[in-house]
């Protein structure tokens, strides 16, 4: 197309907004991390170099949050991918469109509800020892009541159950549309050659789902590393035994409750680099030729 | 014949299994709605699934004791405004990146994409300080302005506008149409499905957002629905029926919208996720 200044006219105001609300904050977090920064401090904030970074290694709560985050994310993403792939496969092999869309709608419903509201319902109606729905259900299969949120060893499993409930619908839809784009000829050919359904899944479906799978994995990883609302509401201050402290809630508490914004920024950079690594790995994997 | 029977059998097994699973899966909703109609004492006891008597007291409490109508409209106008402006900026920027050549194009585009991967927790502290400096703290525009331009929407629109043949744009240009006229008359009508998908996700993301309202809003009457619900819950720890009624009122609008537009939701996820 011919040369005009139109692109610059269009992009200038947008770049200004991005600069003020995104670029400046990103740069800002690197700068604030070098300060002992308290917004209420009237005498000014002192430059302390890499002192905040040194503090990380010795900070027990940071270490707990870091480990909890990894535990949460890897278990969550692992179970999520297995369940959603299984359900997507089951639903794709249904011949009835009506049933398929009914199940898909039901499984997706929690995804449109605000996570904050979901967290309130689960922490007040499902998890409580007294009158909680989960214990009631478990009592039918003979399991004694569990104090889900009041017990250090069950807090994280509870958070995982809640998060899975709230999140699986999204990946199910992505996997169904990935599975439906695989040509049926391949599967039919394999079936004629005598491959059973499990063999067909691992030898044909799964390899051909490569690109979808790598995309879904990366997106789920990135979003789960930033999971916040359920931890803030179900496990305030880290919950019992701090077993529910994750990086996102630790950063929030450090910055906005303790007003230790310099240190909170330092912790937030750890999260930044984790997500940077996940993104770079996904980019690298995407260069592989998955086509068929 | 045997093959058809096997197919039928596997279908029946899958339907039975999924029906059982989905019935359990829906129980939190059932619990929430039923609890919202129970008396305070009955909810606390938690021994019954169905209310002995359906009462509306909990809903009356929520409407009388809280500015829930305010919360609803706060959520509604901020989410709507963000969605409308985001659709405009995303499609316009996508148009420029897809159909124009200009100096620094690659760099600017790469730069916008790079901003997408930065976690909200990394930017929230400086953003908070900037919002305060701009005098926007405890103002609903604090959750509007930062969301008006988004890398995801620009990327999505660029991908789909690139599929439109250059010849269509050139033909319009030869006929004397200006840049904006081409954008409105040629480009926008052709990317409607993309825009409706983007609209759904932008609106939903904004409506459900918890972190940003938590950072920037403190006055009760200025809160949005999710934040207000968590605030209400922390204020009324012994009034579970009221909490469940409020939760129902928060979850209901989005769920109804979803049920009405479920086809668009599913298609939207598929096209945005696959491109």
Q: Which residue segment(s) compose the domain that B226 sits in? A: 66-235
User: Do the chains contact at B208 and A116, CB–CB below 8 Å?
Assistant: yes
Domain boundary assignment for chain A = 55-286
CB contacts < 8 A (A, B): 263
Task: Name residue A47's beta-bridge partners.
Answer: A35
Q: What percent of chain A has pLDDT over 70?
A: 97
User: Do the chains contact at B254 and A113, CB–CB below 8 Å?
Assistant: yes
Under 8 Å CB-to-CB from A49, ≥6 apart: which residues?
A34
- pLDDT of B80 reads 97
Tell me whether B247 touches chain A (CB under 8 Å).
yes
Per the domain annotation, does B208 fall within a domain? yes
Per the domain annotation, does B98 fall within a domain? yes
Average pLDDT over residues A60-74: 97
Average pLDDT over residues B13-21: 96
Tell me whether B142 touches chain A (CB under 8 Å).
no
Domain count, chain B: 1
- Count of C-beta atoms within a 10 Å radius of residue B89: 21
CATH topology of domain A55-286: MetI-like fold (1.10.3720)
What is the pTM assigned to this prediction? 0.92
Per the domain annotation, does B120 fall within a domain? yes
In chain B, positions 155-174, which contact chain A (CB-CB < 8 Å)? 166, 169-170, 173
User: Do the chains contact at A99 and B15, CB–CB below 8 Å?
Assistant: yes
Half-sphere exposure of A146 (CA within 13 A, CB side): 19
- pLDDT of B275 reads 42
ipTM: 0.92
Asked if pLDDT for residue B227 goes beyond 90, the answer is: yes
Asked if pLDDT for residue B229 goes beyond 70, the answer is: yes
Residues of A in contact with B120 (CB under 8 A): 226, 228
Asked if pLDDT for residue A127 goes beyond 70, the answer is: yes
Q: Are B43 and A130 in contact (CB under 8 A)?
A: no
Average pLDDT over residues B81-105: 96
User: Do the chains contact at B215 and A124, CB–CB below 8 Å?
Assistant: no
**CATH number assigned to the domain comprising residue B152:** 1.10.3720.10
Residues of A in contact with B92 (CB under 8 A): 10
């Amino acid at each position: 197309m011919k040369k005009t200044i139109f692109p610059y006219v269009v992009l200038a105001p947008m770049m200004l907004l991005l600069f003020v609300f995104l670029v400046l904050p990103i740069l800002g977090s690197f700068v604030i991390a070098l300060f002992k920064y308290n917004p209420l401090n009237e005498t000014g904030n002192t430059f302390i170099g890499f002192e905040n970074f040194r503090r990380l290694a010795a900070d027990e709560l940071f270490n707990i949050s870091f480990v909890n985050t990894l535990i949460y994310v890897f278990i969550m993403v692992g179970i999520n991918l297995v369940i959603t792939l299984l359900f997507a496969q089951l639903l794709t092999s249904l011949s009835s469109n009506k049933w398929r869309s009914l199940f898909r709608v039901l499984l997706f419903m929690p995804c449109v509800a605000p996570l904050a509201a979901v967290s309130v319902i689960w922490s007040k109606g499902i998890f409580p020892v007294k009158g909680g729905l989960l214990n009631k259900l478990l009592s039918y299969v003979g399991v004694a009541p569990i104090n889900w949120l009041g017990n250090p060893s069950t807090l994280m499993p509870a958070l995982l159950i809640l998060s899975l409930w709230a999140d699986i619908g999204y990946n199910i839809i992505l996997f169904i549309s990935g599975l439906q784009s695989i040509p049926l000829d391949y599967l039919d050919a394999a079936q004629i050659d005598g491959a059973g359904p499990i063999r067909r899944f691992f030898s044909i479906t799964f390899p051909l789902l490569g690109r979808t799978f790598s995309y879904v994995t990366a997106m789920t990883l990135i979003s789960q590393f930033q999971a916040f609302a359920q931890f803030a509401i179900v496990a305030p201050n880290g919950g019992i035994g701090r077993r529910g402290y994750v990086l996102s809630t630790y950063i929030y508490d450090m910055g906005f409750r303790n007003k230790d914004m310099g240190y909170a920024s330092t912790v937030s950079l750890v999260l930044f680099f984790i997500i940077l690594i996940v993104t770079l790995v996904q980019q690298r994997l995407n260069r592989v030729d998955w086509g068929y | 014949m045997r093959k058809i029977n096997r197919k039928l059998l596997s279908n029946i097994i899958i339907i039975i299994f999924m029906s059982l699973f989905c019935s359990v899966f829906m129980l939190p909703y059932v619990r929430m709605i039923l609890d919202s109609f129970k008396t305070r004492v009955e909810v606390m006891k938690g021994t019954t699934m169905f209310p002995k008597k359906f009462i509306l007291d909990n809903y009356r409490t929520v409407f009388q004791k809280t500015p829930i109508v305010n919360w609803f409209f706060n959520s509604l106008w901020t989410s709507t405004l963000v969605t409308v402006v985001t659709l405009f900026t995303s499609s316009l920027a996508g148009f420029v990146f897809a159909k124009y050549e200009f100096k620094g194009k690659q760099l600017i585009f790469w730069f916008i994409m790079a901003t997408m991967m930065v976690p909200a927790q990394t930017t929230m502290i400086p953003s908070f300080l900037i919002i305060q400096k701009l005098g926007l703290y405890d103002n609903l525009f604090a959750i509007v302005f930062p969301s008006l331009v988004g890398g995801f929407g620009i990327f999505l629109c660029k991908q789909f506008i690139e599929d439109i043949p250059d010849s269509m744009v050139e033909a319009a240009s030869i006929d004397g149409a200006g840049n904006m006229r081409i954008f409105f008359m040629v480009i926008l009508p052709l990317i409607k499905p993309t825009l409706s998908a983007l609209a759904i996700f932008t609106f939903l993301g904004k409506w459900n957002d918890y972190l940003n309202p938590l950072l920037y809003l403190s006055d009760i009457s200025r809160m949005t629905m999710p934040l207000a619900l968590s605030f209400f819950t922390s204020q009324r720890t012994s009034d579970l029926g009221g909490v469940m009624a409020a939760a129902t009122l928060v979850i209901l609008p989005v769920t109804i919208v979803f049920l009405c537009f479920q086809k668009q939701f599913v298609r939207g996820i598929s096209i945005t996720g696959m491109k």
